[in-house]
């Protein structure tokens, strides 16, 4: 991934944070930093390497609802959506609804 794609993911991943990321979030951020290799993502690489089964439905909903709908694959848009979905699914905030779910999270 390129540094621009990482920044898009990071912005999405940390969009709901009020302060510095937790240790658990920092470990995921460090893993994404290790993925920066300067090569731009294409749609197939994105779906195979980064789209996991657990995130597939909310991620597709996020990308489908984006302003870029109907345009060719945009890696930065996809990475931003992935970051937002990963953050909300893996680190839900107290009292928030899980994406595509009627369940609420209570600590």
In a domain, 23, yes or no: yes
Count the domains in the chain. Answer: 1
Task: Look up the pTM and report it.
Answer: 0.68
In a domain, 97, yes or no: no
Listed in sequence order, the residues at least 6 apart from 12 whose beta carbon sits closer than 8 Å to its beta carbon are 79, 80, 81, 82, 83, 84, 85, 87
Domain residue limits at 27: 3-90
**35-94 pLDDT per residue, tens:** 899 988 877 777 666 655 556 555 665 555 444 455 567 788 888 888 888 888 788 776
**6-21 pLDDT per residue, tens:** 999 999 999 888 888 8
In a domain, 31, yes or no: yes
In a domain, 98, yes or no: no
């Amino acid at each position: 991934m390129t540094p621009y794609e990482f920044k898009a993911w990071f912005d999405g991943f940390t969009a709901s944070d009020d302060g510095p990321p937790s240790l658990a979030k920092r470990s995921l951020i460090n893993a994404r930093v290790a993925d920066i290799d300067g090569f731009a993502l294409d749609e197939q690489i994105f779906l195979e390497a980064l789209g996991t089964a657990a995130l597939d439905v909310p991620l597709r909903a996020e990308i489908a609802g984006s302003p870029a709908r109907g345009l060719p694959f945009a890696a930065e848009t996809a990475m931003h959506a992935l970051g937002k979905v990963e953050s909300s699914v893996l680190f839900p905030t107290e009292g928030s609804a899980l994406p595509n779910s009627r369940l609420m999270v209570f600590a």
